[in-house]
Amino acid sequence: MKNLCYESTSNCLLKCPYCISSDNGVMKKDHYLEIIDFIGNLLPERLVISGGEPLIDPLLKEKIALIIKKYHEADKEPYISISTNGTSLMDQDMWLFLKNTIQCLDISLPSLNHDTYAQMRGVDLLNQVLINIRKAVSYGLNVRLSIIMTKQNYNELENLLKFANEVNVNSVRVGRYFPFRDAYDIKDDYELDETTVIRIIDNINNGKYANIYRGKILPPIRSLSMMKGYLNVNFDGMLFVPNMQGKQLLGSVSDVDINALEASFKDSQPKIFIKYKEK
Ligand code: SF4
């Protein structure tokens, strides 16, 4: 199994109108032990921990330590990426813990403009995100900036890339708003037209921004069908893949047949992920 996304909590400090993970509902009980057993059976090449907001999950350290133990028991090293909105206040212990345990901190930054940020994220916590991006770089983490493109912010791409260069993050991923899961309901307000998306993809692939941001830029994926091999597990231990209507549920981690699951993902997974070079 190449990639697995673990949505570890439903709690979040933001209120994005297009929040995709809200379709999980609110976490009542954390089933992390059985989910980590499942991860330990699969040992994906890359594990993304997301939420909600994983960095406000009080059990995050314990979860990461248990996950690493599973890999080490199998004589393997994990690749753990945390997907964060970067809004939480973190002490030095937490920064050092992240530096020593994870391989990538993927921080979402859709805008440098307070109004646009608030419009896209429901709350204006932009200043805290900027502080955390600089801190993450100063602690020596492998930092990726994730920029989701919507009707509201696509004109800001050059400015965001200039910022990425100035703060010296390791890579940038330009994502696109996709109308899947709960985001489907408000797609007309946010989704860019296909021509604009293709222009952004082509500009990145043709090196238009190479003089603005000198690290690697990952372009948006071309179609939602490329997401079909992207396996997710939520805090309830439910497995699913996103699709245009929401998500396709595959069952629970406690009763899924791991071998059959791996076999079903074998063909689709390699199409999903684009390898990138570190800056
Ligand atoms: S940051 Fe993520 S989890 Fe939080 S509201 Fe926005 S989309 Fe939802």
Give, using CA atoms, the residue closest to atom 3 of ligand 1. Answer: 52
Tokens 């990538």 found at: 104
Q: Residue 62 contacts by C-beta under 8 Å, 6 or more apart in sequence?
A: none
Give the pTM.
0.93
Name the CA radius of gyration of the chain, rounded.
18
Q: Within a domain: residue 279?
A: no
Q: Within a domain: residue 179?
A: yes
- Any atom of ligand 1 within 6 Å of the Cβ of 15: yes
Split into its structural domains, the chain has a count of 1
CATH number for the domain including 180?
3.20.20.70
In the chain the first and final C-alpha atoms are separated, in Å, by 26
pLDDT tens-digit map of 37-84: 999 999 999 999 999 999 999 999 999 999 999 999 999 999 999 999
Say yes or no to pLDDT of 229 above 70.
no
- Any atom of ligand 1 within 6 Å of the Cβ of 8: no
- Any atom of ligand 1 within 6 Å of the Cβ of 237: no
Q: Within a domain: residue 241?
A: yes
Instruction: Give the distance (Å) from ligand 1 centre to CA of residue 121.
Output: 7
Q: Within a domain: residue 277?
A: no
Q: Within a domain: residue 278?
A: no
Q: Within a domain: residue 204?
A: yes
Closest approach atom of ligand 1 to CA 85: 1
For residue 6, give the 3-state DSSP assignment: strand
Q: Within a domain: residue 136?
A: yes
SS3 content of the chain, % helix, strand, coil (to 5): 40, 20, 40
Other CB atoms within 10 Å distance of the CB of residue 206: 9
Residue 145 domain boundaries: 3-272
Q: How far is it, in rounded angstroms, from Cα 7 to Cα 213?
A: 30
DSSP per position, 151-174: TTTGGGHHHHHHHHHHHT-SEEEE
pLDDT tens-digit map of 117-165: 999 999 999 999 999 999 999 999 999 999 999 999 999 999 999 999 9
Q: Within a domain: residue 18?
A: yes
